[in-house]
Amino acid sequence: MEDVTINYLSLFAAAITAVVLGLIWYSPLVFGRQWMAASGMTPEKMEARKKRASFGLIGGFLCQIITAYVLVHFAILFDVATVPQALAFAFWAWLGFTAATSLHAVFWEGKPALYWAINAGYQLATFGAMSLILALWR
């Protein structure tokens, strides 16, 4: 495998963008209510989780750093450098590594398809945003 030079500022920006996108995506103004209903989350459970919100945000940010780190390696190795390339790259990465594997929650765990669609949609939007940032800001 060849060495890649990573712009760590763009990697950090991609991870921050993913976290902010998640805060918006799962807010009551977008898909928060639907996600709560599909996941079986109650307002009481959500209130209890607020006590651990900083843990969730930090953990989520670290997960996004890892995702961005892997995506930037693939983007560089595949020479993804334009908007159409970044969006196609994001779609195929999402389809193979997220959409297909996360469908197990529907097939094996009995989760509602809406639960999968909301989460997978967020991942697609995240992969798209990250890929654009990482491919265009080298």
Is a pLDDT exceeding 80 seen at residue 87?
yes
Distance (Å, rounded) from C-alpha 73 to C-alpha 96?
16
Q: In this prediction, what percent of the chain has a pLDDT beyond 70? A: 99
Burial class (CB in 10 A: 0-12, 13-18, 19+), 105: middle
| Cα–Cα distance measured from residue 68 to residue 127, given in angstroms and rounded to the nearest whole number | 9
In this prediction, residues 25-43 reach a mean pLDDT of 94
pLDDT at 98: 96
Q: Which of 31, 6, 12, 59 is nearest to 120 (CA)?
A: 31
pLDDT attached to residue 138: 85
Supply the pTM of this predicted model.
Answer: 0.91
Tokens of 130: 């990250």
Cα–Cα distance measured from residue 97 to residue 102, given in angstroms and rounded to the nearest whole number? 8
Residue 42, SS3 per DSSP? coil
